[in-house]
Amino acid sequence: MSGAVLSSAATVLAHRDGLPAFGPATVLTQASIELLPLLLLLVPAGLYLYGVRRLRARGDAWPIGRTLAFLVGGLGTIAVATTSGLAAYDVSLFAAHMVQHMLLSMVATVFLALGAPITLALRTLPRRPRAVLLSVLHSRVARLLGFPLIPWVLYVASPFALYFSGWYEATLDSRVLHELLHLHFLAVGALFFWPLLGIDPVPGRGAHPFRLLLIGTTLPFHAFLGVSIMSVQPDGRGLIAPDHYLALHTLEEAVDQQELGGALLWASGDIIGLLFLAVLLTQWMRASEREAQREDRRLDRLDAAEAAAPAQAHPG
C-alpha cells in the first residue's frame, strides 16, 4: 500500500458537500434512519422471529446461532451499510462506498444464508404459502439462476462492468439507481453464496469439492479488480467517476480515495474468501464424518442381521 493510501487511511478528508470531515465518530454522528430502509429491515426481522416463535410453540427446536446469524450478522450488517454514517459518505468517498460494497455483497449475504430463512419458512408456513414457495424454488427461473456458472459470472464480472463503465457514475447522481445498486450487491451475493453454504434447499447446491473450486476461482479476480482500481495515475488517468469526485475533492484526495478503495477490495475480498474456504472445508469434513457414521450404523445392522439369521433358522 502506497504512502498516499496510508495517509488517506490515517487522516480525515475534507470535502465540499456539507458533511463534516470523515472520521470514526461520524459513523455514529452522521447515522440517518429513514422509514423505507427501516421497514425493509424490520419486516424480515419480525417475520423471522415469528417463525422461530411458531416452531418453539409446537415444541420444535431452532438453533440460536441461526437466529443470531440472520438478525445480527445479516440484517445488522445491512443496517450498518445503509443507515450508519458510512452511508452518509458513500457517494462522496470512494473508500466508504467500497466498504459498503463488501459489507452488502460478501458479509451480509453470508450471514443471511447461515440464518437459513427458507428452511424456517418451509417449516412454519401454512400449506398454501408453503406450496407457493416450493413452486418458486423448483421453477425454471430458479433452476436457471441457480446454475452455478451464472451466479459465478455475475459475482465476478459485474464489479468490472460497474466500475469500468459509466454505470457507477450514474448511480452517484441518481438516488433510485443508488438504492438499486445496493439491492444488486445483495442479490448477486445471495445468488452466489446461498447455494455454496448448502443450508437452505435452494437450486445449485453442488458437491463440496465443486463449491471449494468456485470460491477459489474468485480470489484471483478479486485481486485483479483491486489492483486495477488502485492503478490510478497521479494526474487522474484511470480515475473512476472523475466528474463526480473532482467536484468534491482535490485531485490528490480523489486519487488517494480510489487507491484506498481498491486496496480495501483486494484485501477484504481475499480475507473473506479464505475464511469462506475454511468454512466449506469444515462443512465438508463434518459431512464426511456424518456419512461415515451412517455407513457404520448400516454395517452394524447388517452384521446384527447376519448374526441373528442362524439363530432364527435353528430355534432352540
Q: Tell me: the pLDDT tens digits for 262-307?
A: 999 988 888 888 888 888 788 778 777 777 777 667 766 776 777 7
308 found inside a domain: no
| CA dihedral (305, 309, 315, 316) positive or negative | negative
Residue 315 located in a structural domain:
no
Question: Could you tell me if residue 301 is inside a domain?
Answer: no
Number of domains in the chain: 1
Tell me the residue range of the domain where 233 lies: 3-12+21-293
Q: Which residue has the higher pLDDT, 49 or 203?
A: 49
Task: Give the chain's end-to-end CA distance (angstroms, integer).
Answer: 84
Q: Is residue 300 part of a domain?
A: no
At residue 7, the pLDDT reads: 39
The answer, as to whether pTM is greater than 0.75, is yes
pLDDT cut 70: percent of the chain above it = 88
For residue range 107-153, list pLDDT tens digits in order.
999 999 999 999 999 999 999 999 999 999 999 999 888 888 899 99
- Name the residue among 311, 169, 187, 314 with its Cα closest to residue 248: 169
41 or 310, higher pLDDT = 41
**Whole-number pLDDT of residue 4:** 44
Q: Which helix (H) or strand (E) holds 311?
A: helix 251-313
In a domain, 240, yes or no: yes
Residue with cell 473512476: 240
- Asked if residue 299 is part of any domain, the answer here is no
What is the pLDDT at residue 289? 74
Average of per-residue pLDDT values in the chain: 85
Q: What is the pLDDT of residues 2-52, one digit of tens each?
A: 444 433 443 444 444 567 777 777 877 787 877 778 888 999 999 999 999
pLDDT value of residue 3: 42
C-alpha cell at 98: 467500497
- The answer to the question of residue 305 being in a domain is no
**For residues 202 and 209, what is the distance between their CA atoms, to the nearest angstrom?**
18
Looking at residue 104, its pLDDT comes to 94
Q: What is the pLDDT of residue 316?
A: 54
Answer whether residue 276 is part of any domain. yes
